[in-house]
Structure 1
Amino acid sequence: MGRTVQCLKLKKEAEGLDYPPYPGEMGTRIWQSISKEAWQEWLNVQTRLVNENRLNLADTRARKYLKEQMEKHLFEDIDVEAQGFVPPSA
C-alpha cells in the first residue's frame, strides 16, 4: 500500500492517490485529502453526469459544471447525481 490520507469524503484513513489527479491547486487539495477509493467513486459519478447530461467536455461550461460538482461531492459532502439516474438494483 502506498501513502495514506485522512480522506475527507470517506471520513477515514485510506490509501491516497499516487499523484494529483487534477491540475493546479484543486489537484493538490484532492491529492492531500481524498483517497483512491473516494476518487474512483467520483469518477463513476462524473461519468454518469457526462452521459446523462450529454456534456461536451470541449465546452468550458461543461468542464466548469463538472468541477463544481466534483467540489460538492468530494469536499462539501453533497450528494451529486445525474438527474434521472437510477442505480442498478442489487
Structure 2
Amino acid sequence: MTRPELRRKYKEKPPVRPRPPYPGAKGQDIYDHISEKAWEDWKKHQTMLINEKRLNMMNGEDRKFLQVEMDKFFAGEEYAQAEGYVPPAE
C-alpha cells in the first residue's frame, strides 16, 4: 500500500518513521496517517492525562480510556483535558 501524501491532524508531510510507533493495526494506521509532530503532541498530552487523572496503565479500563482519547485527538474531535491544568508560561 502506498502511503498518503498528507497526514491526519496537522495535514503535513512528515519524515518517514522506521516502524509503527504503536502495536497492531492501530500502530500501522498511525504509521500511515499520523505525522511525527501529531504523534509527539499526543505523547505529551497522554503523559499529562496519565499524571493528572492518576491513570493506572495496569488497569484495562484506563488503557482503553487513553486509546479512545487518542482516536479523538487524531480525528480532530473534542478530547479529554486535565481539569484545572494550566500550561507553564514560556
**Distance between the aligned counterparts of 1:53 and 1:86, measured in 2?**
14
Q: CA offset at residue 83 of structure 1?
A: 2.1
Q: Which whole-Å CA distance do the structure 2 matches of 1:85 and 1:55 have between them?
A: 16
Which residue of structure 2 aligns with residue 8 of structure 1?
8
CA 1:5–1:23: 2 relative to 1, 3 Å: farther
Whole-angstrom CA distance in 1 between matches of 2:5 and 2:61: 31
1:5 CA displacement: 5.3
What stretches of structure 1 of length at least 5 have no aligned partner? none
Q: Structure 2 matches for 1:39-54, cutoff 5 A?
A: 39-54=39-54
Kindly report the root-mean-square deviation, in angstroms, between the aligned alpha carbons of the 2 structures.
Answer: 1.9
Superposed, which structure 2 residues align to 1:4-83 within 5 Å? 6-74=6-74, 76-80=75-79, 81-83=81-83
Unmatched segments (≥5 aa) in structure 2: none
Residue correspondences, number: 87
Counterpart of 1:69, as a letter, is E
What SS does structure 2 have at the residue aligned with 1:83?
coil
Instruction: Indicate conservation of the 8 Å contact 1:5/1:14, yes or no.
Output: no
Structure 1 or 2: more strand by fraction: 1
For the 8 Å contact 1:5–1:15, the answer to whether it is kept is: no
Superposition TM-score, scaled by structure 2 size: 0.85
